[in-house]
Structure 1
Amino acid sequence: MAEHPVVGYPVWAVLFGAIFAWEGIGLLRPDDGFPTLSDATNTLMRYPAGRWSLFALWLWLWLGWHTFVRGWHFLLQEPT
């Protein structure tokens, strides 16, 4: 099995930590005007261009997932 760089784990941890921190700040202090992710999504969903943009983002993620995962084995096991 090929070695993979371990630097990706801290990068993903920082990204998810930033998302959770953003949401936590927005939920803990709702009166200060700090938007949560649902506020941002609701703002985008008001307009047809925003809805199409979110749909295109989800479609891009779905296609990317199925493109890169194709040919992988379940739980990255070696074929027998």
Structure 2
Amino acid sequence: MEFVSCKEQHTEVEWKSCPGKWIARNTEAKKSGFHLNALASPWEKWAKILDEFKEAKRKGIETLKTRVNITLGES
């Protein structure tokens, strides 16, 4: 599986091994927080995430909503 971003293609391993940079949106905040979804997790493989998404989509909207909430961290 390949990840396409900025016209570059990367394998899952390449994408996950690239160094990241946290950029604060509110530099005045007393506490830091961040949002990260399962695509960046070293314990979750993209192929499994995609298979679970397809299965949830097949089962219906409520199952799909749950999968999107859990996997992508979206409300």
The TM-score, its normalising length taken from structure 2, stands at: 0.28
Q: Which structure: larger Rg?
A: 1
The TM-score, its normalising length taken from structure 1, stands at: 0.27
Q: Which structure carries more strand by proportion?
A: 2
Greater RCO (Cα-Cα under 8 Å, separation 6 or more) = 2
Q: Which structure carries more helix by proportion?
A: 1
